[in-house]
Amino acid sequence: MESWQPPLAGKLAVVMGGSRGIGAAIVRRLARDGASVVFSYISSSARADELVREVLSVGGDARAVRTDSGDVGAIRELIETIAAQRGRLDILVNNAGIGLMGLVDDYRVEDFDRMIAVNVRAPFFAAQFAARHMQPGGRIVMIGSAVPERTAFPGASVYAATKGALAAMVRGLALDLALRGITVNNVQPGPTATDAHPAEGPGAEAIKALMPIGRMGTADEIAGMVAYLVSAEAALVTGTSLTIDGGFVA
């Protein structure tokens, strides 16, 4: 009998925005499933280094690279360098994103442009660069949001617009890459407990009141959805936006 192999053994994954919250949970899960994971971060090298040590301590493989996800040139350099070192790329997860909230009355052009750069332009070009190094079986996953389907609070019009654009982009990318055997999907979390938005933090009770299941999601639950989409079992799933929100938009 052959020995058991983790489902992502031998795979190389890049996670854009992986040092904390949902991104860190994705890094842990992909590494646990056997992938070698390179993740980007922008603000905290200490947090990124801590995550790398954590993954290595349990036998996983992870590496952190500081990258500005609003800079297309930096994204290209990251992906091209990794692909050159390993000869290929199997998985790309675009988790990097920002939420600069504000009412329409006084929303700044600079904030609008930064939101588009990080939440829309960067995922597109990351997918473009990564796909060049993928073989059939390659996987691209975007991390969107349930907010375009239920915004629920004022001040999120631009954020909702960027995440709605991401969902539309995924459908087009899936068609572009289908004949090459590369799948492209979008995971849309609802309210999710992270270190930045703890389940018992300010405003948490108001959020839970909007959740039919009575609680916020967890980052590990989102990572589980990503793990399925990058697996061999999900070969027929492409061009979809999968909402994981405890009934938030139901």
In a domain, 84, yes or no: yes
3-class state of residue 59 by DSSP? coil
In a domain, 2, yes or no: no
To the query of whether residue 41 is one of the catalytic residues in this protein, the response is no
* Alpha carbon distances (Å) from 97 to 16, 20, 122, 219, 240: 9, 12, 9, 15, 19
Which residue among the candidates 41, 107, 159, 228 is catalytic per the annotation? 159
* Alpha carbon distances (Å) from 160 to 11, 76, 80, 101: 33, 26, 31, 10
Instruction: Please count the structural domains in the chain.
Output: 1
pLDDT along the chain (250 residues), means of 10: 86 97 97 98 93 98 95 96 94 96 97 97 98 98 96 94 98 98 98 85 85 94 98 98 95
Contacts of 113 (CB under 8 A, 6+ apart): none
In a domain, 49, yes or no: yes
pLDDT score, position 1? 54
In a domain, 59, yes or no: yes
pLDDT score, position 229? 98
Please provide the DSSP assignment of 187-221 as one string: EEE-SEE-SSS-TTSTTHHHHHTT-TTSS-EEHHH
pLDDT score, position 152? 87
In a domain, 120, yes or no: yes
In a domain, 98, yes or no: yes
User: Helical H runs in the chain?
Assistant: 21-32, 45-57, 72-86, 109-116, 122-131, 157-177, 204-208, 219-229
In a domain, 22, yes or no: yes
The token pair at 11 is 């795979």
Contacts of 1 (CB under 8 A, 6+ apart): none
Say if residues 217 and 192 touch (Cβ distance below 8 Å).
Answer: yes
3-class state of residue 76 by DSSP? helix
pLDDT score, position 2? 67
* Alpha carbon distances (Å) from 192 to 32, 146, 179, 222: 21, 11, 35, 9
pLDDT score, position 203? 80
Q: At 157, which amino acid appears?
A: S
What is the residue range of 71's domain?
A: 12-244
The token pair at 198 is 């703890």
Q: Can you give the CATH number for the domain in which 105 is found?
A: 3.40.50.720
pTM: 0.95
In a domain, 42, yes or no: yes
